């Protein structure tokens, strides 16, 4: 008789910083145990509802939304959507019968992991940031295992549940050797110019975008070419600015880049927000970077992420409020200093965890095997 397949439910999303680690974990689970059955649970209307099916996995959406910290009429609906999400999560658990529930952060993780715990199903949390969020700190009380990306997380979680794994990233970013020429060709850029890769995360970053747009003449006069991921809200402004300055040959903009390995491979220096996924990718790609933490992230966790590298001389940091004055200047100075680039690259590579996805997948399967159908 054929043994029953292992069933795992993975919840979370909202941004690429949650979605892509979740997909990387799913891919690792499939590699380690091809017959595994996987189901994603996300938030209706969020980007995981499009990105996860694109990666080849089924997803169910919950109506859950975030609670606004400042007064908002939307908060009046929050309790109703939360209760509805808890009830739907309970049905998902009952119908799919997972052996383990995994939470990667984002709106959907809370209801799904809460109902899984009540049903006696072991849960695993993947905490991506150096400062744990409130939801994960609450869920940790009943979690069987907590996989973290930074040392020192016993400040937030019970030490006996913690495993330091790093953050899972897409496999194509782990080894960029030999891809620089391919990357430059893909973006239509020259092999004879220094290249700056600018990104603000999957949703874009206004302060980074506005700073870059204002600084394009200075950047162009320095002989630097640019790969610019703008996010949807700024892409038209970016393209108009590039056309206005006649820089279509040296500044390539896009609202979203799927070929991130080629963008990293082409880059000499990266400008980025300091979300957990971006920081992990930069470390694995071993790229010198200028980080601009989003100051309104929950509990200012992006600043904590950035400082974890700055303290190791593994990255530079510019405050969001100072981006217009300092961002281009800092990036151009770094582009002109090969020695500083080499130092940052060597130091940040020490914080990379190339086997993170497989390490987390092994922990999940160990829990599943202890909780048979």
Q: Is 15 known to sit in a ligand binding site?
A: yes
Q: Is 275 known to sit in a ligand binding site?
A: no
pLDDT at 2: 47
- CATH superfamily placement of domain 172-349: Glycogen Phosphorylase B; (3.40.50.2000)
Q: Is 169 known to sit in a ligand binding site?
A: no
Token pair of 301 as six digits: 């966790």
Share of the chain above pLDDT 70, in %: 94
pLDDT at 115: 96
Q: Is 129 known to sit in a ligand binding site?
A: yes
Q: Is 279 known to sit in a ligand binding site?
A: yes
**Cα 85-141-96 angle, rounded to 5 deg:** 40
* pLDDT tens-digit map of 109-127: 899 999 999 999 999 999 9
Q: Is 27 known to sit in a ligand binding site?
A: no
**Cα 104-295-342 angle, rounded to 5 deg:** 80
HEC profile of 277-323:
HHHHHHHHHCCCEEECCCCCCHHHHHHHHHHHHHCCCCCEECCHHHH
Rounded Cα–Cα distance for residues 132 and 142 (Å)? 16
Q: Is 278 known to sit in a ligand binding site?
A: yes
Q: Is 257 known to sit in a ligand binding site?
A: yes
For residue 320, give the nearest of 333, 341, 306, 340 by alpha carbon.
Answer: 306
Q: Is 177 known to sit in a ligand binding site?
A: no
Strand order through the sheet with 225-229: 251-254, 225-229, 195-199, 269-272, 289-291, 316-317
Residue 281 confidence class, pLDDT cut points 50, 70, 90: very high
Q: Which helix (H) or strand (E) holds 78?
A: helix 78-96
Share of the chain above pLDDT 90, in %: 72
Rounded Cα–Cα distance for residues 48 and 196 (Å)? 28
Residue 148 confidence class, pLDDT cut points 50, 70, 90: very high
pLDDT at 77: 56
106-110, 216-220, 255-259, 301-305: least confidently modelled range: 106-110
pLDDT at 366: 97
Look at residue 181 and give its three-state secondary structure: helix
b (16+ CB within 10 A) / e for 224-238: bbbbbbbbeebbeeb
Classify domain 7-167+354-369 at the CATH class level: alpha beta
Q: Is 170 known to sit in a ligand binding site?
A: yes
Mean pLDDT value across residues 156-177? 91
Residue 97 pLDDT greater than 50, yes or no = yes
As a whole number of Å, the CA-based R_g of the chain is 21
Rounded Cα–Cα distance for residues 270 and 190 (Å)? 17
Region of residue 231 (left: phi > 0; alpha: psi -120 to 50; beta: else): left
Q: Is 308 known to sit in a ligand binding site?
A: no
Residue 16 pLDDT greater than 80, yes or no = no
* pLDDT tens-digit map of 30-83: 999 999 999 999 988 888 999 999 999 999 999 875 544 554 555 555 566 778
Q: Is 276 known to sit in a ligand binding site?
A: yes
Q: Where in the chain is the domain with CATH 3.40.50.2000?
A: 7-167+354-369, 172-349
The 8 Å CB, 24+ separation contacts for 93-98 are 93/9, 93/119, 93/121, 94/119, 96/7, 96/9, 96/39, 97/7, 97/373, 98/7, 98/8, 98/9, 98/39
Top pLDDT among 115 and 14 is at 115
Contact 103, 123 (CB under 8 A): yes
């Amino acid at each position: 008789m054929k043994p029953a397949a292992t069933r795992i439910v993975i919840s979370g999303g909202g941004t690429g910083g949650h979605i892509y680690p979740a997909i990387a974990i799913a891919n690792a689970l499939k590699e380690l145990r091809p017959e595994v059955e996987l189901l994603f649970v996300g938030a209706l209307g969020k980007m995981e509802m499009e990105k996860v099916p694109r990666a080849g996995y089924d997803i169910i959406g919950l109506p859950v939304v975030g609670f606004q910290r400042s007064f908002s009429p939307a908060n009046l609906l929050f309790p109703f959507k939360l209760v509805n999400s808890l009830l739907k999560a309970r049905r998902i658990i009952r119908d799919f019968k997972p052996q383990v529930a995994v939470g990667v952060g984002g709106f959907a993780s809370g209801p799904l992991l809460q109902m899984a715990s009540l049903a006696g199903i072991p849960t695993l949390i993947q905490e991506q940031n150096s400062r744990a969020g409130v939801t994960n700190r609450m869920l940790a009380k009943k979690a069987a295992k907590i996989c973290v990306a930074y040392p020192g997380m016993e400040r937030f979680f019970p030490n006996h549940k913690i495993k330091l794994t790093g953050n899972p990233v897409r496999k194509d970013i782990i080894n960029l050797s030999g891809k620089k020429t391919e990357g430059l060709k893909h973006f239509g850029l020259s092999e004879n110019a220094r290249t700056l890769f600018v990104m603000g995360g999957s949703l874009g970053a206004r302060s980074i975008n506005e700073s870059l747009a204002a600084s394009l003449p200075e950047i162009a006069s320095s002989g630097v070419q640019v790969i610019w991921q703008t996010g949807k809200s700024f892409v038209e402004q970016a393209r108009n600015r590039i056309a206005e300055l006649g820089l279509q040959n040296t500044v390539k903009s896009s609202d979203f880049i799927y070929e991130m390995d080629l963008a990293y491979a082409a880059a000499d220096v990266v400008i980025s927000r300091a979300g957990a996924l971006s920081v992990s990718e930069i470390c694995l790609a071993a790229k010198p970077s200028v980080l601009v933490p989003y100051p309104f992230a929950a509990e200012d966790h992006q600043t904590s992420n950035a400082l974890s590298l700055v303290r190791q001389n593994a990255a530079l940091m510019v405050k969001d409020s100072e981006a217009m004055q300092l961002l281009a200047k800092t990036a151009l100075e770094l582009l002109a200093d090969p020695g500083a680039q080499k130092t940052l690259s060597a130091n940040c590579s020490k914080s990379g965890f190339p086997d993170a996805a497989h390490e987390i997948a092994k922990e999940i399967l160990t829990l599943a095997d202890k909780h048979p159908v």
